[in-house]
C-alpha cells in the first residue's frame, strides 16, 4: 500500500518535471521555429500574421528570392559575413595559438606586462573606442574594408582565446616536449606536430567563439562598413527592416533572420561540448 502511494508520488513528480521541461523548452525554441517555418511561405502569405506558423498555401522559396533583390542582395552580404567570420576564425586561432604557446613555455622580457595588457582589454568596452578605431583604419588604408573589420574582430577575441590557449598549453606535461626535443624537433615542428594535437579541444573552442562573435557582431560592422557592398548580414538586414529599400517585406526579414540563425544553431548543436567547455573556462577562472 505504502509502496503504491510512493510509486504514484514518484510518477506525479516525474510528470510535473517533464511537463515543466517541455513547456519551458517550447517557449525557448518557439520563436526560432516560428521564423524558420514562416520563411517558407509565399510572399503574399508571409505578410499576414503567422497563424499557423507553417505555410498553408504551399511551400515556397519566394522570400529568399526577394531578399536577394534588395540593395546588393542577400548573397553579397552572406559572402561578406562568411568571409569576415572565416578569416576571424583562422587569424584568431593562429595568433592565439602562437601567443598561448609563447606565454606558456617561454620566459622573455615584459612577459607579464604583455599578458596583463592583453587580458585587461576585456575590461574596456570596445564600444567606447570605435571612433578612433575608425580613424586608425582610415590611416592604415583599411577604411571600409572587410579586412579592417576582421582585424577588429580578431583583437576582440584575443583576451578570451589567448587565456584559453595558455591554459591548454600549461596542461601539457613538459616531458612530452623534452622527448620531442631529444628527437631533434625544433620549436616550429614541435608546436605543429606535437603540441597542436594535444591542445586541439581548446582550438575548436576558440574557433567556435570566434565564428559566433564575428558572425553576430553588429555595432562595429554598422559603424565601420559604410558601403552597401561591404555590409555584413546583420547590417544589411537592419537596413532592410528599417524600410531603407522601400516598404518592409516581413517575409524577407524572416528569410534573412533564418539565414543568420541557422549556421549558429548548427555549429552549436554539433560542437556543444566545446561551447560549454569555453563557458566553464570563463566562469571558473
Partner 1 sequence: MTTITTTTTAPPRVRKRVGAGRRQWIGLIYVAPAVALVMVFFVIPLGMTAWMSLHNWPLMGEHSFIGLGNYWAILRDTRFWNALRFTGYYTLIVTIAIFAVAFPLAIFIERPRPFTNLYRTMFFMPAVVGFASASLLWSWLLNVDSGLFSPAAYDLGLIDRKFNLLATFQPAFWSIIAMVVWKVAGFTMIILMTGLQSIPQDLQEAAVIDGAGPFARFRAITLPLMRRTLALALILSVAGSILAFDQFYIILRGGPRNQTLTAVYWIFNQSFVSFKLGYGAALSMVLLVILVALSLVQLWLLRKPEGLD
DSSP symbol at 40 = T
CB 181 within 8 A of CB 190: yes
Residue 169 Cβ vs partner 1, minimum distance, rounded to whole Å = 11
Nearer to partner 1, 1 or 237 (CB): 237
Residue 261 Cβ vs partner 1, minimum distance, rounded to whole Å = 5
CB 148 within 8 A of CB 224: yes
Angle at 83 between CA 81 and CA 86, to 5 degrees: 100
Nearer to partner 1, 4 or 283 (CB): 283
Compute the distance between CA of residue 89 and CA of residue 107 in angstroms, rounded to an integer.
Answer: 28
Residue 149 Cβ vs partner 1, minimum distance, rounded to whole Å = 11
Residue 1 Cβ vs partner 1, minimum distance, rounded to whole Å = 26
CB 232 within 8 A of CB 81: yes
Cα dihedral 39/45/51/57 (nearest 10): -90
CB 274 within 8 A of CB 205: yes
Q: Name the helix (H) or strand (E) containing 114.
A: helix 111-120
Nearer to partner 1, 43 or 76 (CB): 43
Nearer to partner 1, 1 or 174 (CB): 174
The three grid cell numbers given for residue 280, joined into one nine-digit string: 566553464
Nearer to partner 1, 80 or 96 (CB): 96
Nearer to partner 1, 1 or 80 (CB): 80
Beta strands, E only, the chain: none
Residue 158 Cβ vs partner 1, minimum distance, rounded to whole Å = 6
Compute the distance between CA of residue 71 and CA of residue 228 in angstroms, rounded to an integer.
Answer: 7
Nearer to partner 1, 61 or 124 (CB): 124
Check the CA dihedral 185-189-191-197 and report its sign.
negative
Amino acid at each position: 500500500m505504502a509502496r503504491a502511494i510512493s510509486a504514484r508520488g514518484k510518477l506525479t513528480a516525474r510528470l510535473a518535471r517533464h511537463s515543466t521541461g517541455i513547456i519551458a523548452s517550447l517557449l525557448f525554441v518557439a520563436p526560432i521555429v516560428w521564423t524558420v517555418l514562416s520563411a517558407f511561405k509565399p510572399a503574399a502569405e508571409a505578410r499576414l500574421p503567422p497563424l499557423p506558423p507553417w505555410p498553408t498555401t504551399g511551400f515556397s522559396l519566394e522570400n529568399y528570392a526577394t531578399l536577394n533583390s534588395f540593395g546588393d542582395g542577400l548573397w553579397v552580404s552572406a559572402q561578406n559575413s562568411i568571409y569576415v567570420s572565416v578569416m576571424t576564425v583562422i587569424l584568431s586561432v593562429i595568433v592565439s595559438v602562437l601567443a598561448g604557446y609563447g606565454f606558456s613555455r617561454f620566459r622573455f622580457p615584459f612577459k607579464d606586462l604583455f599578458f596583463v595588457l592583453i587580458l585587461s582589454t576585456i575590461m574596456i568596452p570596445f564600444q567606447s573606442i570605435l571612433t578612433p578605431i575608425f580613424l586608425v583604419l582610415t590611416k592604415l588604408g583599411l577604411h571600409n574594408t572587410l579586412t579592417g573589420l576582421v582585424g577588429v574582430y580578431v583583437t576582440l577575441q584575443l583576451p578570451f582565446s589567448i587565456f584559453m590557449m595558455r591554459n591548454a598549453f600549461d596542461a601539457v606535461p613538459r616531458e612530452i616536449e623534452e622527448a620531442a626535443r631529444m628527437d631533434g624537433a625544433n620549436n616550429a615542428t614541435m608546436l605543429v606536430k606535437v603540441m597542436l594535437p594535444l591542445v586541439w579541444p581548446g582550438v575548436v573552442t576558440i574557433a567556435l567563439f570566434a565564428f559566433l562573435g564575428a558572425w553576430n557582431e553588429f555595432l562595429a560592422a554598422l559603424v565601420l562598413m559604410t558601403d552597401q557592398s561591404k555590409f555584413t548580414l546583420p547590417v544589411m538586414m537592419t537596413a532592410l527592416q528599417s524600410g531603407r529599400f522601400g516598404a518592409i517585406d516581413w517575409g524577407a526579414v524572416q528569410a534573412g533572420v533564418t539565414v543568420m540563425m541557422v549556421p549558429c544553431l548548427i555549429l552549436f548543436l554539433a560542437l556543444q561540448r566545446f561551447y560549454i567547455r569555453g563557458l566553464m573556462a570563463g566562469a571558473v577562472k
